[in-house]
Amino acid sequence: MDIDVRGPRFGAAVTTAVLLAVLALDSGYLLAFQTLCFALGAAGGVGRSPYGLLFRTLVRPRLGPATEFEAPAPPRFAQAVGLGFALLGLLGHFVGPQWLAYSATGAALAAAFLNAAFGYCLGCEAYLLLRRVGPARG
């Protein structure tokens, strides 16, 4: 079943704010929270992530009916990509080097911002590209 495109965009907007706070406050613990959010979104789909639940219970009831839908697999893959960058950021925050924390968090922030502001999901596009290319044959 396809999902309302506004849900992942809302999640990306919240993620953008959280990752900005991570960089502004230099908070590895806040990044750990965002990492958990990515993990839940990757494991259960964006609708089961904390931001998806927030969208479904507080935001969507105040909006009109959805007019655009998308398959759930690309946003779920995007959550897994975000999880990878967040894990690298955590590694940088708690083990080092510090530049790894900033660059990995910044990359996740850039991707979240693109989705929130322009509806362009880098992780979704990567998923679709990988589907077109198919498995490597050697």
List the chain domain ranges.
3-133
Contacts (Cβ under 8 Å, ≥6 apart) of 63: 6
Per-residue pLDDT at 133: 86
Question: With contact defined as beta carbons under 8 Å apart, do 64 and 52 qualify?
Answer: no
Question: Can you give the pLDDT at residue 134?
Answer: 75
pLDDT in tens, 13-47: 999 999 999 999 999 999 999 999 999 999 999 99
Q: What is the pTM of this model?
A: 0.92
Average of pLDDT values for 97-120? Answer: 98
Task: State in Å, rounded, how far the first CA of the chain is from the last one.
Answer: 35
- Side-chain half-sphere of 21: how many Cα atoms within 13 Å? 12
